[in-house]
Amino acid sequence: MFPVLLDRQCSEKTAVQMDASFGSKDNLFSLTPSSPSDHGRAVLNLVLQAAEIFSGMEEQVQETEARAQSMCKSAEERVRFAEKRIEVAERARREIVNDVGRKLQEASKALTNAQARIAAAEDKVTASEFRAQSAEAQLHDAKQALLLVEEAIRERLLSEKRSSVET
């Protein structure tokens, strides 16, 4: 990309410089014989023009190099900034994962404790049910015994009444 741009810029600048240089009659070569001093002057003119062109090209190269360095520096800064943002995001992600892990452990412990309390309560309910059944059985037995005692008392009273009536 840069060589094409540089080549295009150099070509345009060179063309302008060459047009300016060759536009004057002093810079035109004529096919008519001329003196050696004319040749020397023409050669010197060409050398000066070439020096100006090379100087212009060198300036363009320096400008392009400065722009490239500036672009690289800017890209490096953007990369460093992006890396910092990645580090911050990664740190936040780790904190969230750790926090979620802690909360999960707490919830697991709470669930285990709740299950243990439920099991203990179920055991108490079962024990209470057995005691209630036992109490019901004892009550039933007591009622039966009471009925038998009542029956025995009735029979005795009746038998005493019959004996006293007979006597």
Distance CA 43, CA 37 (A): 10
Q: Which residues of 115-134 are buried (b: 16+ CB within 10 A; e: fewer)?
A: eeeeeeeeeeeeeeeeeeee
Q: List helix spans (H) across the chain.
A: 2-22, 36-166
Distance CA 52, CA 57 (A): 9
Distance CA 144, CA 32 (A): 158
Q: What pLDDT sits at residue 12? A: 52
Q: Could you please report the per-residue DSSP string of 23-36?
A: TSGGG---SS---H
Predicted confidence (pLDDT) per residue in 122-139, tens digit: 999 999 999 999 999 999
Q: What Rg, from alpha-carbon coordinates, does the chain have?
A: 59
- Give me 96's structure tokens: 């969230």
* Model confidence at 140: pLDDT above 90: yes
Predicted confidence (pLDDT) per residue in 57-82, tens digit: 999 999 999 999 999 999 999 999 99
Residue 141's region, left for phi above 0, alpha for psi from -120 to 50, else beta, is alpha
Nearest to 7 by CA among 60, 65, 69: 60
Predicted confidence (pLDDT) per residue in 6-49, tens digit: 344 444 544 444 444 444 444 444 445 567 678 888 899 999 99
The letter for the amino acid at 25 is K
Band the pLDDT of 4: cuts 50, 70, 90: very low
- Give me 11's structure tokens: 């070509």
Domain ranges of the chain: 2-130
Predicted confidence (pLDDT) per residue in 90-108, tens digit: 999 999 999 999 999 999 9
The letter for the amino acid at 13 is K
Q: What is the mean pLDDT of residues 150-166?
A: 84
